[in-house]
């Protein structure tokens, strides 16, 4: 372990996947029959090892070299080429891809775990994998057979990279205001003209070609999102035999000079400057935004994973540094001139920072792993009811994964810098890059405020509020089941109070809607998102705590240990220490962290609407 190299909490990862979610049960289905627990464990270990040994050495170098435009094309840092190729050759960049296209066909949960490591190793590189798979998924799901044959396999194999082109300079997050046009020239083929901006991984020399998924408006289509269609627009045209043809009039105007993710080129692209850019429609006219949202939902979970990945790396670096750095004496001996100097992990303020980091990282991991596990359960569901239940949970939790995890992840990295002190602000340690890279996550793929509006304006009122009701029922069932738990009853009682406050807040929003309209509800939508997300994460941590108490009880019985107050036993038994710590982080999260997010709603409870009335 090192305070400058990538380290992951593999014990918590194994616990969450194997002991809590029990993802090995997926092998009982025909779809994932090959992925028994032993296979999953091996793949997790090898995927993490690859991320640490092959990818992470490029993180700092690629950040400092950055990307550049040369002869109209983007050149990425040289050090990325070899790990890019190996990622596809070994299958780590295409784990969830169907075996039909040469992928592993692995469960989404397994892919998420490995991607946690890959993001922490080098976010700039892993973004290429996520965007390419997302664009290929769109073509594979909605495209014609000829489009699938021409593009999908090569994208999944990394020969072509892919992008998602929504934003335009004059529109920003208002996708429906896009003006990029499409004019039909023959069946399924259109002339594309317009400009797109903020295009992540917008161009590169990693693959032979770049395939853009572009939203454009067919001439005569209505304004707004309903008039948008989706097109495959390759940088270089692909002939029917698979060979590369002529340039497709796609111009890389510039790449952004950004705060972070320097290894990922964020491009401004012009389509059809010379009137010769062709696009092939994906699906039907006017269905572009609904098709794109299939990719965006996955992209939003992937973005939430950035928060976990970088925060997890920051916590491990900060924890190690706290054991390395010697400074001052123990506060209880501060007046003793003979007192020995101690490592900073003994200082209460540092310990408070570390438990905040640790608890939040484990909470993010629980929320993201659980959400993606629902995607796997949806795929293997035996009844429509099971399938819908899993889908409802994914729909409701996705804006929480994206909004809450990116904000909390950024906060954790910031605290990590504080633990390191001055050196955390220097390039000698990875913390400053982790912070710069993490800062984009709350912004792109829909800002935190947009996620909050999606939650309160769509998901919570969808089907007469059934999604929110089902979540509250899940909370209630857990509370009732464990109300008399011999070790966790008090924590569940505290959690019940949070749930009651959440329910009262949701009822209060209905009154605000009547008196102040939707803008009154929207004013405190983001604080509400942060609060309900923390409660949802707390619910999942409590599930983990129940498992931990059972495991700890087994260890005590097997070893004839009655009271774990004897810390010497915990030092000797790593599993016992892990489970004991899980109980502490859960209790701290429920008692100390959830109230931090509840405090954000103070203005809403007072129905303070000054922000809507003040003149700025």
Q: Which residues are catalytic?
A: 445
Q: Which helix (H) or strand (E) holds 281?
A: strand 278-281
SS3 606: coil
Largest CA distance in the chain: 87
Q: Are the beta carbons of 176 and 224 closer than 8 angstroms?
A: yes
Give dist(CA 1, CA 38) in Å, integer.
Answer: 26
Closest CA to 488 of 500, 498, 478: 478
- Whole-angstrom CA distances from 434 to 192, 258, 259, 268, 412 are 38, 14, 11, 25, 10
Give dist(CA 140, CA 169) in Å, integer.
Answer: 29
Give dist(CA 570, CA 69) in Å, integer.
Answer: 55
The DSSP bridge partners found for residue 218 are 182
- CA angle centred on 576, ends 575 and 580, rounded to 5°: 120
**Which residue reads 């389509």 in tokens?**
271
Phi–psi pair at 236, nearest 5 degrees: -120, 130
Give dist(CA 438, CA 208) in Å, integer.
Answer: 29
Q: Is 501 exposed, middle or buried (0-12, 13-18, 19+ CB in 10 A)?
A: middle
Give dist(CA 409, CA 13) in Å, integer.
Answer: 17
Phi–psi pair at 267, nearest 5 degrees: -110, 155
């Amino acid at each position: 372990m090192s305070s400058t190299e990538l380290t992951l909490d593999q014990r918590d990862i194994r616990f969450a996947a194997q002991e809590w979610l029990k993802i090995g049960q997926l092998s009982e289905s025909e779809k994932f029959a090959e992925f028994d627990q032993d296979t999953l464990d091996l793949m997790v270990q090898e995927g993490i090892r690859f991320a640490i040994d092959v990818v992470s050495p490029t993180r700092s170098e690629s950040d400092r070299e950055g990307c550049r435009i040369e002869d109209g094309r983007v050149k990425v840092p040289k050090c990325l080429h070899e790990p890019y190729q190996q990622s596809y050759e070994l299958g780590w960049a295409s784990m969830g891809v169907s075996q039909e296209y040469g992928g592993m066909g692995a469960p989404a949960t397994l892919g998420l775990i490995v991607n946690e490591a890959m993001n922490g190793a080098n976010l700039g590189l892993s973004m290429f994998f996520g965007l390419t798979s997302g664009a290929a998924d769109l073509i594979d799901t909605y495209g014609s057979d000829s489009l699938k044959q021409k593009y999908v396999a090569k994208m999944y194999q990394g020969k072509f990279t892919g992008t998602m082109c929504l934003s335009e300079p004059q529109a920003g997050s208002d996708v429906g205001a896009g003006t990029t046009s499409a004019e039909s020239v023959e069946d399924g083929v259109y002339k594309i003209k317009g400009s797109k901006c903020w295009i992540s991984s917008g161009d590169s020399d990693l693959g032979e070609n770049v395939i853009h998924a572009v939203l454009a408006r067919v001439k005569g289509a209505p304004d707004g999102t309903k008039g948008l269609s989706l097109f495959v627009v390759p940088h270089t045209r692909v002939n029917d035999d698979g060979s590369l043809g002529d340039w497709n009039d796609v111009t890389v105007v510039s790449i952004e000079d950004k705060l972070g993710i320097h290894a990922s080129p964020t491009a401004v692209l012009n389509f059809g400057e010379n009137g010769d850019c062709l696009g092939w429609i994906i699906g039907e006219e006017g269905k572009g935004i609904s098709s794109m949202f299939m990719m965006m939902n996955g992209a939003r979970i992937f973005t939430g994973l950035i928060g976990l990945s970088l925060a997890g790396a920051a916590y491990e670096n900060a924890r190690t540094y706290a054991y390395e750095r010697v400074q001052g004496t123990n506060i209880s001996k501060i007046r003793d001139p003979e007192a020995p100097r101690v490592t900073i992990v003994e200082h209460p303020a540092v310990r408070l920072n570390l438990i905040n980091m640790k608890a939040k990282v484990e909470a993010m991991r629980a929320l993201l792993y659980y959400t993606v596990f629902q995607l796997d359960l949806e795929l293997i569901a035996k009844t429509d009811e099971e399938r819908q239940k899993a889908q409802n949970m994914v729909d409701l939790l996705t804006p929480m994964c994206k909004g809450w995890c990116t904000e909390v992840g950024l906060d954790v990295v910031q605290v990590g810098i504080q633990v390191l002190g001055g050196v955390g602000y220097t390039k000698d340690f990875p913390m400053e890059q982790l912070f710069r890279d993490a800062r984009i996550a709350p912004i792109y793929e829909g800002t935190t405020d947009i996620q909050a509006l999606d939650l309160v304006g769509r998901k919570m009122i969808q089907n007469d509020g059934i999604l929110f009701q089902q979540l509250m029922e899940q909370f209630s069932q857990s509370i009732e089941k464990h109300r008399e738990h011999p070790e966790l009853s008090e924590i569940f009682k505290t959690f019940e109070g949070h749930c009651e406050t959440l329910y009262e807040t949701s009822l209060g929003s209905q009154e605000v809607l009547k008196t102040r309209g939707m803008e009154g509800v929207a004013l405190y939508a983001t604080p509400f998102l942060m609060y309900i997300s923390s409660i949802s994460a707390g619910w999942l941590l409590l599930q983990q705590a129940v498992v931990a108490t059972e495991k700890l009880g087994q260890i005590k019985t097997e070893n004839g240990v009655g009271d774990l107050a004897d810390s010497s036993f915990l030092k000797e038994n790593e599993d016992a220490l892990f489970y004991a710590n899980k109980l502490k982080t859960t209790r701290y999260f429920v008692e100390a962290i959830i109230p931090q997010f509840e405090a954000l709603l103070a203005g809403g409870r007072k129905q303070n609407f000054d922000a809507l009335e003040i003149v700025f």
